[in-house]
Amino acid sequence: MDRERLQELMEQVRSGELSPDEAVQQLRGLPFEDLGFAKVDHHRALRRGFPEVILCERKQPEQVVGILRSLSEHAELVIASRASQELADFVRSELPDAAYHPEARIIRLGAMPEPEAGRPTVAVVSAGTSDMSVAEEAAVTAELAACPVERVYDVGVSGIHRLLEHRELLTSAGVIVVVAGMEGALASVVGGLVDVPVIAVPTSVGYGAAFEGLAALLAMLNSCASGVVVVNIDNGFGAGRFAAMICRMLPPADV
C-alpha cells in the first residue's frame, strides 16, 4: 500500500465511508504477510515509494504466483524480475492479467504507468546487442516508476562514432544508465561527455579475461571520469531503480 492509498483510506474512515474495523481489515497485511515460504513486505511502497519486487530466480512457479497474488491485493502495480518465458507462461495461466516483457525478463501485474509530465529523461545506453537484456531490465524498471526513457543500443567504443551520433540526447538526459560487458569502457567515455549522473552496469558478456563481468566491473569502478557510480554485474534492475530515484529528485524538465 502506497502513501496515497493510505491517505485515501484514512479519509474514508474520517468521512464515515469505512468503519475502523473495515480499515483495519485492509491494513491487516502491514507490515508483512507470512505465506510460509515468504514474508511479503506490503509496507515497502509506503517506506520507499515502490512495492516489493519478486526475484524469480530459484523460486518455484507456484511460489512466484503466490507472492504476486499477495502483493496485488495491496498494490496497483506488482513486478517480478528475472522471469523466464516458461515461468511467464505459467504465471499467466494462473493470473491472466499478467503481462510479460521478454527482453527485460519482467512480469508485471497492473497497468504500465504513463511517464510523468516534466520528469527528466532516463537515457539507457548499451555497448552491444548482447547487453540488451540487462539494458532492457533497467529501462523497463525506470518506465515502471513513471520515468520517460530513451534507449540508445549497440554504441560501444569499438565504433565510437555511433555513440557521438546521440550526443544531444545524452547531454539533455537527467541521468544515464550505461550497460557494457567486455572491458566496460563505455561508462568512462559517456561519463567524460556529460554533466549528469552516470550509472554504470557491468554485464557478464565477454569471454576469456572478461571473467564473467569482473573485468567490466573493475574497469567501471576505476573510471577516470567523475560522476560515475557502479552497480553489481548484470544488475539492470538496481540501475533502473536508482535512476528513477534520481529523476524524482531533479527539478522538472521544460515541457
Instruction: Find how far residue 9's CA is from the centre of its chain.
Output: 28
What is the structure's pLDDT at 3?
65
What is the structure's pLDDT at 175?
97
Amino acid letter, residue 43: H
- In the predicted structure, residue 58 carries a pLDDT above the cut 90: yes
151-186 residue pLDDT tens: 999 999 989 999 999 999 999 999 999 999 999 999
- CB atoms under 10 Å from CB of 29, counted, come to 18
More reliable by pLDDT, 29 or 148 = 148
111-120 residue pLDDT tens: 898 888 888 9
Nearest to 9 by CA among 28, 30, 21, 26: 26
Amino acid letter, residue 42: H
Return the C-alpha cell found at 222: 576505476
Give the pLDDT mean for 208-221.
Answer: 94
Which of these ranges, 42-51, 132-141, 172-181, has the smallest mean pLDDT? Answer: 42-51
CA distance linking residue 122 with residue 169, whole number of Å: 10
- In the predicted structure, residue 128 carries a pLDDT above the cut 60: yes
- CB atoms under 10 Å from CB of 166, counted, come to 15
The band of 237, judged by pLDDT with boundaries at 50, 70 and 90, is very high
Query: For the chain, first and last CA: distance in Å?
Result: 31
Q: What are phi and psi of 179, to 5 degrees?
A: -115, 120
DSSP assigned state of 197: -
- In the predicted structure, residue 47 carries a pLDDT above the cut 90: no
Give the pLDDT mean for 216-235.
Answer: 95
pTM: 0.83
Contacts 24+ apart (CB under 8 A), 34-41: 35/66, 35/67, 35/70, 37/63, 37/66, 38/63, 38/66, 38/67, 40/67, 40/70, 40/71
**Exposure pattern of 141-154 as b/e (b: 16+ CB <10 Å)?**
bbbbbbbbbbbbbb
238-251 residue pLDDT tens: 999 999 999 988 88
Give the pLDDT mean for 71-87.
Answer: 90
DSSP assigned state of 75: -
Count of alpha carbons within 13 angstroms of residue 21, beta-carbon side: 0
What is the structure's pLDDT at 28?
59
Domain boundaries, the chain: 3-109, 122-249
Task: Give me the CATH topology for the region 122-249.
Answer: Rossmann fold (3.40.50)
**Residues β-bridged to residue 176:** 123, 198
Residue that has been written with the C-alpha cell 512495492 in this structure: 51
Mean pLDDT of the chain: 89
Residue that has been written with the C-alpha cell 512457479 in this structure: 61
- In the predicted structure, residue 217 carries a pLDDT above the cut 90: yes
CA distance linking residue 139 with residue 180, whole number of Å: 14
Give the pLDDT mean for 25-37.
Answer: 65
- In the predicted structure, residue 91 carries a pLDDT above the cut 70: yes
Give the pLDDT mean for 4-13.
Answer: 80
DSSP assigned state of 153: -
The band of 75, judged by pLDDT with boundaries at 50, 70 and 90, is confident
Helix (H, G, I), strand (E, B) or coil at 195: coil
For the chain, strand residue ranges (E) read: 33-34, 39-40, 53-55, 78-81, 99-101, 106-109, 122-126, 149-152, 175-180, 198-202, 228-230
